[in-house]
Amino acid sequence: MKYTFRLFITVLCFGFIAACSKNDPVNPTPPTPVTPTVSELIKKVWSASNVQWDGNVQFDKTASSNLVAGYAQFKLDLSNTSAASLTEYDGNKFTGTYSLSSDNKTLTLSGLKTSDGTEPTGTGGTLAFSISGVPTASTLVIESTTAYVKASNKKIRLSLVNP
């Protein structure tokens, strides 16, 4: 009986010590930070910060004058899961859908049309962009995968910001 009682007390003490060591209020285990996915990072409304055609700066948000000042109104809205809205530097607004490639390196805008059914010139309603680097919560850099008529038939590089 004494042996059973001692064994019971010993097991109870070890159990108490083990339980206390897992819930150490002095040194709590920090939660593992969650890294947002590329699809989560790009799901915002973006505006142009810097625009280049063929390596030449056409627009810089911080400049006092720009070759293509209309980029001040440029907006790429990816805030909905798959719906996209693109307001180009000339003020034309196109709506459609967007998708991200499985490797998170290509952003494709599809079915782009204005309210009267016009597609962006020479695109067939589809624009594809390579994503440069890794987007952050406030920056996204994309480059057209093909030459674009409205950019003097050059590839366009857009440095976008989410204010």
Give tens-digit pLDDT for 48-100: 999 999 789 999 999 999 999 999 999 999 999 889 999 999 999 999 999 99
Give pLDDT, residue 32: 79
CA distances, 64 to each of 73, 150, 163 (Å): 15, 23, 19
Give pLDDT, residue 20: 54
Higher pLDDT among residues 31 and 159, named by residue: 159
pLDDT average, residue stretch 132-150: 93
Strand pairing partners for 142? Answer: 131, 158
Q: Give yes or no for residue 133 having a pLDDT over 60.
A: yes
Q: Position of tokens 């987007």?
A: 135
CA–CA dist 160, 100 (Å, integer): 17
Structure tokens at 70: 């209309």
Q: Which pLDDT band, with edges at 50, 70 and 90, does 15 fall under?
A: low
Domain architecture of the chain: domains with CATH = 38-161 (2.40.128.280)
Q: Which pLDDT band, with edges at 50, 70 and 90, does 144 fall under?
A: very high
Poorest-pLDDT segment among 28-37, 45-54, 58-67, 127-136: 28-37
Q: Which pLDDT band, with edges at 50, 70 and 90, does 3 fall under?
A: low
Burial track 39-70 (b if 16+ CB lie within 10 A, e otherwise): eebbbbebbbbbbbbeeeebbbeeeeebebeb
Higher pLDDT among residues 34 and 17, named by residue: 34
CA–CA dist 20, 116 (Å, integer): 68
pLDDT average, residue stretch 131-156: 92
Give the number of other Cβ atoms within 10 Å of residue 17's Cβ: 9
